[in-house]
A and B are shown apart, each in its own frame.
Chain A
Amino acid sequence: MNKIRTATAAGAGAMMLALSACSSGGTTQAADLSAKPDYSGNLSILTAGAGDPMSSYFENLVKDYEAQHAGVKITLTQETDDNAIKDKEKVLIGSQSLPDIYFSYAGNWGQNFADNGLAADLSSVIAPGTPWGSTFGVGSLDAFKYDGKYYGVPLYNDAKFMGYNKKIFSQLGLGVPKSFGELISDCSVIKKAGYTPIAFGNKDGWPGLHYLGQLLAYDVPASVRQSDLQPKTASYSDPGYVEGMKQFQQLVNSCTGDGSNSNGVAYTTAQQQQANGQAAMYYQELIEFDSVNTKGSELSKDGFGIFQLPAPDGAKGDAATLEAAPEGYMINNRSKNAALALDFLKFVTNQKNASTLSAPPYGQPSAVKGAVTPQNATPAVVDGTGMVNDAKSTVVWLDMANVPGVADAWVSASEGLVSGSLTPEAALKSVLQASQKAKP
């Protein structure tokens, strides 16, 4: 019986599909940000904050905002910060039904929204120097800068750091390595002492990609990298690429426990190896700190410290750059309530709410300056946030910086370099080919 209802729904839907296909070509008025919000009407929001404990953060914000502005009704949809949010957004893009405010990664993910007229240009309100813009770290804002315009409201910062076991390091008389070469030689000392120097699991490809992203930023000049990111101008001819990939292979072979077998290990296993005190180091994201260094783990007894992956001596690129990317929110360019959406995002990023976000149980380091303090966050998170804020420049994850086809080629390259089936030269060639294929 329920089939009959399905049938009607299907028929009606088919018609809607046809209609929306016809109308999608039309141009729409850009969102008006300068209007004064009149605190009435509906606002729809899609977050990447589903799951425990994050989901309550936005739920509470919505409750508070609605309490302050009785005329506003907010529809909140939350997805988890992984493939779920990506799939959901692809669907909403495909059906041209993005909400007023939606989550975005920095890099190519956000650029697609900007380039295709789906995101409102927020430069007038959030560019560095504007009153609201001055409350954020410049690096976080720049991560959402496309074609000289600012499109995103960064919510929290993420960055990659080497987390290390303080007890193992002090036992072996090691300090924080100052150069990539020193890190490699420390590895052999640690290995001799019976520990895994660096826990590494590359089953998903991206853990290796994170090493590559940081190393290539050290080895390849920023301007070259920038032009290679665009398929139109990409040449991938800089010798720094091969150099960086060689360093990555060197690290995999001399520092990790599984070496060329690492593609068979999940990153969660690597996390566990560090938490158990078996591994001296594990290269991890800022937002992973509190799930690796958990209360009661061996690691927390031994002491947990972090340092930025040290740059190789004489590297040709930017030795001070840090692989880091904020995650943030954009306003739909076709939103009828853009001014209200802007007001809500200002509310989300005010000092009080930013500080709540940075504190347990959420522990997401807010992109707002001064929101992460020793009073509300764990020491490692405070350290990491400080290093992100102090970074002279940052570089976005390789898989987020590139167009999907090229990002995918990098993932394969990461796996091939680990197993040794790809030489750096061959890996670079496959990336170049993917880039040429992606040329518009």
Chain B
Amino acid sequence: MSTQAPEAAQARVLAGRKVEQAGVLRGSGSRRARRRGAQVAGLVWLAPALFVLAVFVYWPLIENVAFSFLKWNIYNGEQTFVGLDNYANLASDPVFWRALGNNVWYAGLSIVFQVFGSLVLAAIVESLRNERWRKVFRGIYFIPSAISLTVAGLLFYFIYQPQTGLLNVFLQNLGLGQFSQAWLGRENTAIFAVIAMSQWQGFGYSVLLFSVALQRIPQELYEAAQLDGVGPVRRFFSLSAPLVREMTGLMVIVTISGAFQVFNEVMVMTSGGPNNASQVLGTWLYHAGFVTNDFGSAAAIGVAIFVITLVLAMAQLAYSRKRRVEW
């Protein structure tokens, strides 16, 4: 990997898309119009990507929709068309709704902590005068994001152990022993224990991103505000927060769509238990397909996830379009 990046290019990337050259886009468009028809050979550059995506991404997606109308017996390979039965079963399945609810909790809490909490934290870190400390905090907060979810999940399994776990020992030492419990083994706490782990893992990532966005705000604005006697709290609300609101908006959308795709952390820590209390859509799909052999229902859950993420992605797209105009 090359570490010698041309400084100009580096600056351009870090400066963001301020100089989004709409002209280039338009220019290439008009050139295309001028020489239409003669460049089919150029498609060779795209062929590998299109082929791989078609085979492994788009075709399975289409097939999944078809599968959701079938019931099949894995032992003799028989497939029967059952119409909307799988969807009807899903709608009457309380665990499906609980899983969806857990995804919503996941999204909501992640927005509070990973987006807004991290924004505040990033502003605090960036307000430190010493560049070395800023680096230390940003760097160390990020470490959990670099370790795999499996490792984090196994680690927190030990932290949540009822008798010997770090959390309960800590609570007992604080004299709060009455709150100690089997965090992953209780139906009303399991999903929140998983979400908490996920915040631990992910907040450093958001802090890093917000730091980058905050660094793009011209320093003069802060200096001017300071000269006017504006305190740090007001500086945050009147300057930092509004100026990074594009990043905030995008982070909200990215976080929500991530929350509806959650799988690993739940699988590693609880497999959706106890008594399916911590199932999310992803693990419930896995469970339907690979534990109870009901591939038709699994496909129907897949369609549900697809519809939800598609709507969120559209929102993201609309949002970034709007932003492009603003910039």
Contact = CB atoms under 8 A, between A and B. Distances in A.
A21 interface: yes
Given A10-B55, A408-B291, A263 B77 contact: no
B161 interface: yes
Given A94-B77, A416-B275, A263 B186 contact: yes
A93 B185 contact: no
**Residue among A87, A118, A263 having the largest count of chain B Cβ atoms under 10 Å:** A263
Nearest to A10: B55
Interface residues of B, number: 34
A21 B287 CA distance: 25
B292 interface: yes
Interface stretch (B16-24, B31-39, B130-138, B176-184): B176-184
A77 to B, nearest CB: 20
A118 B77 contact: no
Contacts of B274: 202, 205, 263, 412, 415-416, 418-419
A262 interface: yes
A7 B52 CA distance: 8
Interface in B174-222: 181-187
A405 B95 CA distance: 13
Contact of A265 (B74, B185, B275, B290): B185
Given A94-B74, A264-B186, A258 B291 contact: no
B75 A118 contact: yes
Interface in B261-305: 271, 273-277, 287, 290-294
A264 B187 contact: no
B106 interface: no
Contacts of B275: 412-413, 415-416, 419, 421-422
Nearest to A261: B182
Contacts of B4: none
Interface residues of A, number: 42
Contacts of A261: 162, 181-182, 185-186
B293 A265 contact: no
Contact of A7 (B51, B75, B76, B163): B51
B75 A269 contact: no
A134 interface: no
Q: Chain B's interface: helix, strand, loop or mixed, by majority?
A: loop
A258 B184 CA distance: 13
Contacts of B184: 203, 263-264
A96 interface: yes
Given A261-B182, A263-B274, A3 B52 contact: yes
Contacts of B290: 87, 90
Contacts of A115: 75
Contacts of A257: 163
A115 to B, nearest CB: 8
A107 to B, nearest CB: 15
A268 to B, nearest CB: 11
Contacts of B291: 404, 408
A262 B73 CA distance: 36
B48 interface: yes
Given A405-B292, A418-B274, A116 B163 contact: no
Given A205-B273, A265-B161, A415-B275, A96 B77 contact: yes
Contacts of A68: none
A89 to B, nearest CB: 10
Contacts of A203: 184-185, 273
Nearest to A440: B73
**Residue among B182, B184, B287 having the largest count of chain A Cβ atoms under 10 Å:** B182
Contacts of B76: 24, 116-117
B292 A269 contact: no
B185 A263 contact: yes
A404 B276 CA distance: 16
Contacts of B182: 258, 261-265
A226 interface: no
A258 B185 CA distance: 10
Interface in A384-440: 404-405, 408, 412-413, 415-416, 418-419, 421-422, 437
A56 interface: no
B260 interface: no
Interface string A1-39: 001000100100000000001001100000000000000
B160 interface: yes
Interface in B43-67: 48, 51-52, 55
Given A3-B48, A265-B162, A419 B187 contact: yes
A130 interface: no
B205 to A, nearest CB: 28
Contact of A112 (B75, B157, B163): B75
29 contacts: A7-B55, A24-B77, A90-B74, A93-B75, A96-B77, A115-B75, A116-B75, A116-B76, A118-B75, A203-B185, A205-B274, A261-B162, A261-B182, A261-B185, A263-B185, A263-B273, A263-B274, A264-B160, A264-B184, A265-B161, A265-B182, A266-B157, A415-B274, A416-B187, A416-B274, A421-B187, A421-B275, A421-B277, A422-B275
Given A94-B77, A118-B75, A413-B275, 17 more contacts: A3-B48, A87-B290, A93-B75, A116-B73, A117-B76, A202-B185, A203-B273, A205-B274, A258-B182, A261-B182, A263-B185, A264-B184, A265-B161, A415-B273, A415-B274, A419-B274, A419-B275
3 closest residue pairs by CB, A with B: A264-B185, A264-B182, A263-B185
